[in-house]
Chains A and B, each alone.
Chain A
Amino acid sequence: MRGFGDLETVLMEMVWDRDAPVTVRELFEELRHQRDIAYTTVMSTMDNLHRKGWLERAKEGKAYRYTATASREEYSARLMREALAGGGDTEAVLSHFVADMDGEDSEVLRAVVRRLGDRRPG
């Protein structure tokens, strides 16, 4: 499925992978080799990402040069904080595979793992 959201992901990845600010034209030239895509689609998607706060832009001549407002690592860290906060603000926090463990729980588990390690042959 190559939906609109997917293009946002691809474009952000391209912006993050470059160090320098980038224009829609440059991104389009790179993308058209990989997929059948229109210049206006790239432009409106970049506009969306700017409107949603993922990109900032500065006018240069007739075009904009785009940069990410935060690095991928910063976004990852932000998402983690949100997911691990446990305040019930998002439905994401309801489904952790292993819920926050208190010290005693994780100590018991650690002891199990240590014994498993000892008993492993070789």
Chain B
Amino acid sequence: MRPALLAFGYALAVAWYAPLLLTRLTAPGVSARLGLAAWSAAMASVLASALVALEFLIRAAVAGWSGLAEAVCRSVAGGACTPAVYRSAIFEFALALAAIAAALAAAVLAWRYGRSVQRVQRRTRAHAEAARITGRRLPGTPSAVVLDAAPRAAYCVPGRPATIVLTSGALAVLDRAQLTAVLAHERAHLAGRHHLLIGLSRGLAASFPAVPLFTRGPAEVARLAEMCADDAAARRSGGPALITALLAMGTGAAVPAAALAATTCAVTARLARLLDPPRPGRRVRYGLALAAVLVLLAALPALAAASAGPFAAHGLLAG
């Protein structure tokens, strides 16, 4: 029982306290990529250690079935529980039925989750295909198509092949460098498999609505994924092109990149600072802290699994 409790305790601690720590470490977005890795690792770590704990429980239940029958009987009936009761065929039958029902419920949940993932993937594929047939080619960028539509939109559709969709409304307000920034941003989403991270974290939030780590997860993962993609876009085309692309897409007014350099207004300065590389010292401090958190999150469940024997370690790796 003890290893199961330890693993569960670890999962609970990470699920409740990791959000506090990670929110503080990732709020400024100093090291977006490490931050994204840390949130993902925390979620994977909780899931893995909960599975390890579950495996311990199941193995204990199978190995000590008679002891389990007695324990369950006592917890329900207390002093009225005698060997005549918990060794009776009816009681054993009821207990087995309850175990089977629990296993079935878990299977149904997993099946429903799988079905919803499949449905999303099917719609995504259909959307990408429709966009490729409906859209016009964007010269020089084989993976991008342009839809004739007034709303300003730019997004990517993962799949084979991955497709970046722009609207004619978006193209109308972007100059060459800004378009490059937008395309680099979307390509970074695709290269980083951000849709998988966001999709998985949304699935966890839907399955475990009371666990803080999982309920906070989707928004934080999405925010950090945007920052990662922004970093990539800024590296590719420069901060001003990216910032003015954001402004142009957000407001619909064309913003020449040169205008940004000539202004000192407060909001723009804030926007610009967001994309300015942070001071090296700050970057190193946040980076080290996040790296330490990452190592801990990865190491603890692995140690627990290893100490529990080869079967559990195998289960952890496979899960």
Residues of A with Cβ closer than 8 Å to B?
1, 5, 8-9, 12, 54, 72-73, 75-80, 82-84, 88-99, 101, 105-106, 108-113, 115-117, 119-121
Are A120 and B262 in touch, CB under 8 angstroms? yes
Contact for A120 among B147, B153, B259, CB less than 8 A: B259
Q: Of A9, A82, A112, which contacts B132 at CB under 8 A?
A: A9
Contact of B123 among A90, A94, A95, A97 (CB under 8 A): A90
Residues of A within 8 A of B247 (CB): 109, 112-113, 116
- Pick from A88, A91, A97, A115: contact of B154, CB below 8 A: A97
Q: A112, B267: Cβ atoms under 8 Å?
A: yes
Complexed CA–CA distance, A110 and B255 (Å): 11
What DSSP secondary structure best describes chain B's contact surface?
helix
Number of A-B contacts (CB under 8 A): 140
Q: Say how far B313's CB is from chain A's closest CB, in angstroms.
A: 33
A19 and B182 alpha carbons, distance in the complex (Å): 36
A91-B195, A92-B156, A113-B247 given; A97·B133 CB < 8 A: no
CB–CB B147/A76 < 8 A: yes
Residues of B close to A89: CB separation below 8 A: 119-120, 123
Identify the closest chain A residue to B122 (Cβ): A90
Contact of A91 (CB < 8 Å), options: B132, B158, B182: B158
Tell me, yes or no, whether B308 is within 8 Å of chain A by CB: no
- 19 interchain pairs (CB within 8 A)? A8-B133, A9-B132, A72-B134, A77-B149, A79-B131, A80-B147, A80-B149, A91-B124, A91-B157, A92-B165, A93-B155, A97-B185, A97-B186, A97-B246, A105-B250, A115-B263, A116-B265, A119-B259, A120-B258
A90-B127, A106-B250, A113-B253 as given contacts; A76 in contact with B149, CB under 8 Å: yes
In B116-151, the 8 Å CB interface with A consists of 119-121, 123-124, 127-135, 142, 147-149, 151
Chain B nearest CB, measured from A14 CB (Å)? 12
Contact B127 A95 (CB under 8 A): no
Give complex CA distance A78, B151 in Å. 12
In the assembled complex, how far is the CB of residue A84 from the closest CB belonging to chain B, in whole angstroms?
Answer: 6
Q: Name which of A80, A98, A106, A120 has the most chain B CB atoms within 10 A of its CB.
A: A98
Contacts of B236-255 to chain A: CB distance below 8 A: 245-251, 253, 255
